[in-house]
């Protein structure tokens, strides 16, 4: 009897909550087996994996790791790839996000924000490349539209995400033709719990969106799925998912 081909395996970093969890759910619903990476949110990651496993047994795995450390990036990728003996896609979603008003920035904040965004994406991608090449895989980096229109008081975060855009384009050239590398740049999403925007600031952001609503994790998840498997002739592209806000600001 001929062996049945296994499902594609996707590693989603920072997948326990919010955007990452929606990406993991969506890719799983499309037939991928999903590795849910998390740093501290063990209960949320385990709950998500349990739900995915209930829908399809043997289809989800949780892996913990601090991706600000290069060795941990390699360990997480190795655990993901060894699970089913393959890795078909990597979604670099893990992120650190907080205000850094100029005049108050210190090296700790720089390290946290650059390591939690750019360094994590670089070293996780590097570790994944040999596995992705074996299956003609894809990398999708979750960036931010504010690399083009930086938010005041978020200069370090904006610089780190801009680095991820440059990394996306550089890797797209270096890894072609076997591995495609793209990015999704979300606009304003459902408000993060830990970042307090004033009512006037929230209203201004919403009024600047031509489609008239905030984005959701599902909006980002659909874009990620498209860049993984919806079109194999796209690489080095940054797809803005912002309801048209970037057009309105020009």
Question: Which listed residue (38, 98, 157, 233) is catalytic?
Answer: 157
Is residue 59 over pLDDT 50? Answer: yes
pLDDT in tens, 189-216: 765 555 555 667 777 778 888 898 888 9
The pair of three-digit structure tokens given for residue 165, joined into one six-digit string: 């855009």
The pair of three-digit structure tokens given for residue 204, joined into one six-digit string: 């201004």
pLDDT in tens, 70-126: 999 999 999 999 999 999 999 999 999 999 999 999 999 999 999 999 999 999 999
pLDDT in tens, 154-177: 999 999 999 999 999 999 999 999
The matching CATH number, chosen from 3.40.50.720, 3.30.1330.10, 1.10.10.60, 3.40.50.20, for 9-248 is: 3.40.50.720
The pair of three-digit structure tokens given for residue 23, joined into one six-digit string: 């990406």
Tell me if residue 233 is catalytic.
no
Domain borders along the chain are: 9-248
């Amino acid at each position: 009897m001929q062996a049945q081909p296994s499902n594609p395996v996707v590693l989603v970093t920072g997948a326990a909550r919010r955007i990452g969890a929606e990406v993991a759910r969506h890719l799983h619903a499309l037939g991928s087996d999903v590795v849910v990476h998390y740093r501290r949110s063990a209960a949320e990651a385990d709950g998500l994996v349990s739900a995915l496993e209930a829908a399809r047994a043997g289809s989800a795995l949780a892996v913990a790791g601090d991706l600000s450390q290069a060795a941990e990036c390699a360990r997480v990728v190795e655990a993901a790839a060894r699970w089913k003996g393959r890795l078909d896609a990597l979604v670099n979603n893990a992120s650190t996000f907080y205000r850094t008003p100029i005049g108050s920035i210190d090296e700790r904040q720089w390290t946290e924000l650059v390591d939690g965004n750019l360094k994590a994406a670089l070293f996780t991608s590097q570790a994944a490349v040999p596995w992705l090449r074996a299956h003609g895989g894809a990398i999708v980096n979750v960036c931010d539209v504010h690399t083009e229109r930086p938010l005041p008081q978020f200069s370090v975060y904006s610089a780190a995400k801009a680095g991820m855009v440059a990394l996306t384009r550089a890797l797209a050239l270096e890894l072609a033709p076997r591995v495609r590398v793209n990015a999704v740049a979300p606009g304003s999403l459902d408000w993060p719990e830990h970042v307090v925007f004033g009512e006037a600031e929230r209203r201004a952001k919403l009024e600047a969106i031509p489609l008239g609503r905030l984005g959701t994790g599902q909006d980002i998840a659909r874009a990620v799925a498209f860049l993984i498997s919806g079109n194999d002739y796209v690489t080095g592209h940054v797809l803005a998912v912002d309801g048209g806000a970037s057009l309105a600001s020009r």
